[in-house]
Amino acid sequence: MVINPQAFIDVIPFLIDGLWITLYITIFGVAIGCVIGTLFGLMSISRFRIVRFIAVTYVEVVRGTPLLAQIFFIHLGIPALIGHTFDPYITGVAIIGINSGAYIAEIVRGGVNSIDKGQMEAGRSLGLNSRQTMRYIIWPQALKVMIPPFGNQFVISLKDTSLLSSIAVAELMYSGRQYMTITFSAFETMFMVCIFYLIITIPASLLLRYLERRIDKS
């Protein structure tokens, strides 16, 4: 095999286009996942058994099935059932939201449960009801605990977007594969794809470590 140095440069414009789509899907998908995860995370600590059952079922189903299977189920399985196809990009955002939501739900549940039970009693002694105590006392403290895992989930979801190339979403991996098919520069292309992922994930990891240190000091 002969390495073509020029191929490292020529592939960059293709990957930049895919990079923007990767970031778009990740940001919007994880944002949806935060909403879903917060809702189901709070449901999982509800005093009502049926509410907890619904939350636990969602989390276990999503976490217990491969992401690739979820992608094909939503993009191919459901349309076959209802007779309506979805845009791959809508599927991409939805699946990242649904998948990350299950993990974020566990982050929320763990964060809230990490706060001493006496905090709820302290809120009651101040004349606050359960909802007010959660909002003003429990949640601010739990959020500090949840920030690092939230960041880790963002990085994981960003890398998970590479699986969306299987349904022709033109994200970073798909763009690299298309260029590789045209030029047959497999080594150079995949090397640059990995570099592009590292360009995103390494700064994100450094930011997470910085936030963790700040939280530990606070």
Report the chain's mean pLDDT, rounded to a whole number. 90
CATH number, domain with residue 152: 1.10.3720.10
Residue 1 in tokens: 């095999």
Residue 114 in tokens: 């990490």
Residue 173 in tokens: 């991996």
Residue where the block lists tokens 């094909």: 72
Q: What is the pTM of this model?
A: 0.89
Residue 52 in tokens: 């907890």
Question: Average pLDDT of 29-55?
Answer: 95
Statement: residue 125 has pLDDT above 80: no
Predicted local confidence at residue 74, as pLDDT: 94
Domain count for the chain, please give it: 1
Predicted local confidence at residue 1, as pLDDT: 63
Percent of the chain with pLDDT over 70: 98
Residue where the block lists tokens 């905090």: 119
Residue type, 71: I
Query: How many whole angstroms separate alpha carbon 129 and alpha carbon 123?
Result: 7
pLDDT digits (tens, 9 = 90+) for 60-86: 999 999 999 999 999 999 999 999 888
Residue 180 in tokens: 């590789």
Q: What's the domain range around 211?
A: 5-217
Report which of 216, 172, 211 is spatially closest to residue 195, judged by C-alpha positions: 172
pLDDT digits (tens, 9 = 90+) for 161-172: 999 999 989 999
Residue type, 35: V
Statement: residue 214 has pLDDT above 70: yes
Percent of the chain with pLDDT over 90: 63
Predicted local confidence at residue 6, as pLDDT: 87
